[in-house]
Amino acid sequence: MVVRGRWVALLAGVLGMLAVRAHGQPAGLGGAVELVDPKVLRVCADPRSMPFSDEAHEGFEDKLAELFAEKLGKTVSYTYYPRAIGFVRNTLDAMKCDVVMGDAQGDDLVQTTNPYYHAFYALIVRSGGGLDDVGSLGDPRLKGKHIGLIAGTPPATIMANNGLIGDAKPFPLMVDTRYDAPSKAMIDEIVAGTIDAGVLWGPIGGYYAKHATTPLTVIPLVHEHGAPMDFRISMGVRRSDQDWKRTLNRLIGENQVAINKLLIEYGVPIVDEEGKAIVQ
């Protein structure tokens, strides 16, 4: 199934995990039951996944949850579990929380809302280094360059198709995030000049590039073909929670300008439906 394949690709690149089908809702609840807490916005989140979320509530998904809670007149609580095998089963489907703040549209583990941003994988280069205007991985100026890549992510296919894999610098996909941050390590190597460029999921690459000690340019790879390079990001809710989904869709529509501003503040390179950058 195409949607399923794209979601697996996103999990591999963004979360560093493989997705599997979670168990359905507990028996006996029925398809029409909604158990959304009326007073608390209960969020399912990863405790160590910047720039998305962390236990200090510093991620942009945390800030988005605070915005929506304020609009709903609710407080916020979190159920933490790593975005790995069993995430949905142990959080949303276990009724411990009511919304996953960031989920690829069409994910078949949950029911997704309308998307609230659209992003691509991105090429990260040093500003002023001669690669600032590269538009795709097929640019001949990238031949022979040492380009960082998270192993097993979709850009690997496109890099291979363009003859770039032989000189690539792989970074690990599966790590213990308490101790390792491959995406940040890649950015640090670009800054140090150890590698010439790197390819990362845009929200991650943009965030770390924004906080780098040397100016970096983030180039969304909007012209690639052969692997899923872009995803529309929504929120995830239980399949039974139709009213809750409608409420979240309303909030997304009413607050899109504020959402865009929040994402841009975190360095997330968001684009419109034509692939053009949204900058304000």
Confidence at residue 173, expressed as pLDDT on a 0 to 100 scale? 82
Domains of the chain: 2-117+229-265 (3.40.190.10), 120-220 (3.40.190.10)
What is the C-alpha radius of gyration for the chain, rounded to an integer number of angstroms? 19
C-alpha distances in angstroms, 226 versus 33, 93, 171, 223, 255?
Answer: 41, 34, 22, 10, 34
Whole-prediction pTM value?
A: 0.85
Residue 273's H or E segment, with its range, is none
Cα angle 93, 66, 81; round to 5: 35
Confidence at residue 32, expressed as pLDDT on a 0 to 100 scale? 55
| Other Cβ atoms within 10 Å of 280 Cβ, number | 6
Confidence at residue 126, expressed as pLDDT on a 0 to 100 scale? 97
**Helix (H/G/I), strand (E/B), else coil: 101:** strand
List helix spans (H) across the chain.
Answer: 2-10, 60-72, 87-90, 155-161, 182-192, 202-210, 242-254, 256-265
**Helix (H/G/I), strand (E/B), else coil: 280:** coil
Q: How far apart are CA 240 and CA 95, in angstroms?
A: 12
* pLDDT beneath 50: ranges in the chain: 1-9, 11-31
CB neighbour list of residue 212: distance below 8 Å, 6 or more residues apart:
187, 188, 190, 191
